[in-house]
Each structure stands twice: as structure tokens, then as C-alpha cells.
Homo-oligomer: A and B are copies of this chain.
Amino acid sequence: MRLTSYTDYALRTLMFLAANQDRLVTIQEIADTHGIAKNHLSKVVHQLGQLGYIDTLRGRSGGLRLGREPADINIGAVVRQTENDFFMAACFDTASAGCIYAGQCSLQGTLSAATHAFLAVLDGATLDSMLAASQSKKGPRGAVKAVQMHFKAPKGA
């Protein structure tokens, strides 16, 4: 299970702008810093601009900056807007052939509830809180590390 790289780029772009609020930055600079293709990043920046997360100042001395305060940028809202869909199984895609069990089994409801639980955690986070951790050595990094990367159950569980 993965989020799209599009969402990953959007979050990293917002992080970069939040970490550089004292100046304007360029798409090329973000692309170079993160090793992301500029043409991919341009699409992300365009959408983030349309959504009001980014302001673009044109001209030779122009550039990008956040369009909202970091505390007003909710991570759950960004992920909902940058992900194409949350089709966790064939039954979610009503435009496709779907599944013969669609509407008759509770898997879709269970996967929906799980996705809601996933997004509810992100709804509790803002860009501000992401930034606070990166700027403070005494920030919540310890607590954060403790919950990382333990999704796989032991073999045979």
C-alpha cells in the first residue's frame, strides 16, 4: 500500500516552502534539492496553487511561497486532494467490472472504515507540526520514531 509519488511530491514541496518562508523559491530549486523531475513537480505546484496552498509571483524576481500559514495547512486535506482515489479493492471502482461480491460482502465497508481511520490520523496533523519537528532537536522525534515501520506481522501470524 502506497500513497502516489504525486502526493509525496506535494507534501515535500509544502515542507520546502514552510522551511523557507523568509524568501521566494523556484520550482527548479525544489526539483534539484529533492531530486524530482521538474516537469512532474510543475504539475504538483500548479495544483497546489489552484488549491490556494501556494502563491506564485511572476517575473524575473518572482517565485513560490506558501499561500496559507503552515498551521492552516492540514495534511489530511492535502492528501485527500492530491490522491487520485482511495480504491482499496475492485469493489470501490464502480466504473470497472468490479467484483461479483460487490454489495454482498462487508469487505468494502471494512476497507472504507480502515481508510477513514488512516485519514483521521492525517486530519490531526498540520504542516506546522511537521515543521516543528524538523526545526527542534528536542521535538517529538523520539515519539515519532517509536511508531515507525512495524506494519508487518511475524511470519505465520
Contact = CB atoms under 8 A, between A and B. Distances in A.
A103 to B, nearest CB: 7
A110 B86 contact: no
Interface string A3-20: 111011001100100000
Given A133-B106, A148-B112, A77 B1 contact: no
Copies of this subunit: 2
A143 B77 CA distance: 25
- Chain A interface mostly helix, strand, loop or mixed? helix
Interface of A: 1-5, 7-8, 11-12, 15, 33-35, 51-52, 75-77, 79-81, 83, 85-90, 92, 97, 99-101, 103-122, 125, 129-134, 139-141, 143-145, 147-153, 156-157
A112 B150 CA distance: 8
27 contacts: A1-B4, A1-B85, A1-B88, A2-B2, A2-B85, A3-B111, A8-B89, A11-B89, A15-B105, A33-B100, A35-B97, A76-B153, A77-B157, A86-B151, A105-B133, A106-B132, A107-B130, A109-B143, A110-B121, A110-B129, A111-B122, A113-B121, A114-B119, A114-B122, A116-B151, A117-B120, A119-B151
